[in-house]
Structure 1
Amino acid sequence: MTAKTLMIQGTASGAGKTTLVTALCRIFSDEGYKVAPFKSQNMSAYSYVGNGFEISRAQAIQAMAARTEVMPIMNPILLKPLGNYKSEIFVNGISHGKMYARDYYKKFVLSTGLVESKNALDQLIKTNDIVILEGAGSPSEINLQRYDIANMRMAEYCKSPVILVTDIDKGGSFASLIGTLSLLDKQHQKLVKGFVINKFRGDIAILYPSYSILKKKTMKPVIGTIPLIEFDIPEEDSLYANPKQVSWTKRYLKTLDKEINHLALTVKKNLDMKKIRGMLN
């Protein structure tokens, strides 16, 4: 078995990568595919503790959305911030020690971090029908691109098509899309197959002229406009000072499953799933 891959990247943190991957995991699971999420590197103070391992809470929830076992290879590198630019590093769910940011970038990320990420992704690709990859932050953070193992390096490694998502509720989304794309290397620009406009309020017809301009400037289509959705799924803790605490009880998991279904249904209605299926390689 060799999985098809699709990667969701964003113009910034909070653009909607995590929720979009969660929704797609459930959508493809509903269609009968064996699906797995993957994020090579995640920084999060809130984790999921499994049987002898610890990974990002976001990837655990995505695995639940995919109706598959939560596995450490779904988030091979977890950084739990400790303050003062220092984090505890988990590799495939096991603590690898504590490291300052400068040491992480110079001594770890492009050696152990990259190797373990590729190995983990290889395992998921061999055992699933579809792997949905999630990027981190933005792929065009030019000060960090050299050390970035969470975005285009992974997409290029598995030759994955990329969907770029942006948060229109914050404003500046079209500039963010064009700017993000323009700062990528040419070979990485080619991997981006389309855009998703997230968290939209109002009449979508207002956006259509902008979509035409965006297509002319980038030669890439908008493949969905997702409305601002109310749902009760824990967000990434980097976005909020007091993120929601989670207790993994049967009652909570049942509630979470309903919320995932609600999210997936709304996303599916507002994405061109035919185009997305056509992207899967």
Structure 2
Amino acid sequence: MVQGTSSGAGKTTMVAALCRIFADRGYSVAPFKSQNMSRYAYTTDKFEIAVAQAVQAVAARCEIMPDLNPILLKPLDDYHSQVYLLGRSYKRMHAADYYTKFALTGGLETALGSLGRLQKKHDLVIIEGAGSPAEINVAEWDIANMRIAGHAGSPVLLVADIERGGSFASIAGTMLLLEDRYRELVKGFIFNKFRGDMEILKPGFERLERETGRPVLGTVPMLDVAIPEEDSMGSRPGRSMKDLSHIDADLDRLSGAVEKSLDIGAIEGMISW
């Protein structure tokens, strides 16, 4: 599972890259994100899911289906979203009602059902988290991060956006705020969107590894690839397979760069059967 220290850390592109890397190594791969909030959807005449999971499915060379993103929240205003379950419109919900009355019941049940079906069908399911797992004010209702990792028995890779600054502190702070049982699931760190000389990072990596007992699995440079992020799809909210047909070459470039930057052997060793 790929989680991040913040929104925008690069979880979506990292999952896409790992999907392509392991698909190219002969694994049957599928992406998964239990709950996604986005105005932009991949649409067919039968269902809608987040564009991000459709892109990741193209990377994994697997079928695009509702189980990849069982819960899609389309924001309507500051407090309300249209909730989609398994690709179909469910109901308009206030944020407070969604989290306190639905997330841990119907939401979690739906998400785990989808995850279980994917696990039976594929060798490898690469899960994307949402936001940060250390949002302690809403952790009780979080069904997109550590609760999912715990149910899946999945190792967690924690990604930080080093371009923003404060990435070492964000990793250390995230680890500090996690519950002990969830901290144990974190197996390594990835620094994303780096510009400059890698040598200047080494003292920081050494200190971070001493403080946390976890390795840095690599540093991914800032990449110029045309992979759509969650909310960067322009003004048109719907996308189809035709719109995604052009991204395959970009996914190959992305996965090639990420494969060179990470200890893929160590990550592959985390896969459980």
Q: Distance in 1 between matches of 2:235 and 2:194?
A: 23
Q: Distance in 2 between matches of 1:170 and 1:243?
A: 26
What count of residue pairs does the alignment treat as equivalent?
Answer: 272
1:273 and 2:264 correspond: yes
Scaled by the length of structure 2, the TM-score of the pair is 0.96
1:257 and 2:245 correspond: no
Q: What is the deviation of 1:51?
A: 4.0
What pairs with 1:1-281 in structure 2 (closer than 5 Å)?
Answer: 7-237=1-231, 242=234, 248=240, 250=242, 252-281=243-272
Q: Distance in 2 between matches of 1:104 and 1:52?
A: 24
SS of 2:117's equivalent?
Answer: helix
Q: Distance in 2 between matches of 1:218 and 1:243?
A: 42
Q: What is the deviation of 1:243?
A: 6.6
Verify the 8 A CA contact 2:10 2:161 in the aligned structure 1: yes
Q: What is the deviation of 1:194?
A: 0.2
Moved over 4 A (4+): 240-247
**Structure 2 letter corresponding to 1:179:** G
Unaligned runs of 5+ in 2: none
Q: Distance in 2 between matches of 1:94 and 1:116?
A: 13
Q: What is the deviation of 1:253?
A: 3.6
Verify the 8 A CA contact 2:41 2:51 in the aligned structure 1: yes
Q: Distance in 1 between matches of 2:193 and 2:78?
A: 33
Question: What does the per-residue CA deviation read over 1:31-90, in whole Å, with 9 as the maximum and x for residues that have no partner?
Answer: 111100000000000001124111100001100110111010110110000013100000
Q: What is the deviation of 1:241?
A: 9.6
CA separation of 1:249 and 1:145: change in aligned 2, threshold 3 A = closer
% of aligned pairs identical?
53
SS of 1:20's equivalent?
Answer: helix
CA separation of 1:243 and 1:131: change in aligned 2, threshold 3 A = farther
Q: What is the deviation of 1:20?
A: 0.2
Q: Distance in 2 between matches of 1:94 and 1:15?
A: 29
Verify the 8 A CA contact 1:236 1:243 in the aligned structure 2: no
Q: Distance in 2 between matches of 1:264 and 1:37?
A: 15
Q: Distance in 2 between matches of 1:249 and 1:75?
A: 16
Q: What is the deviation of 1:233?
A: 1.2
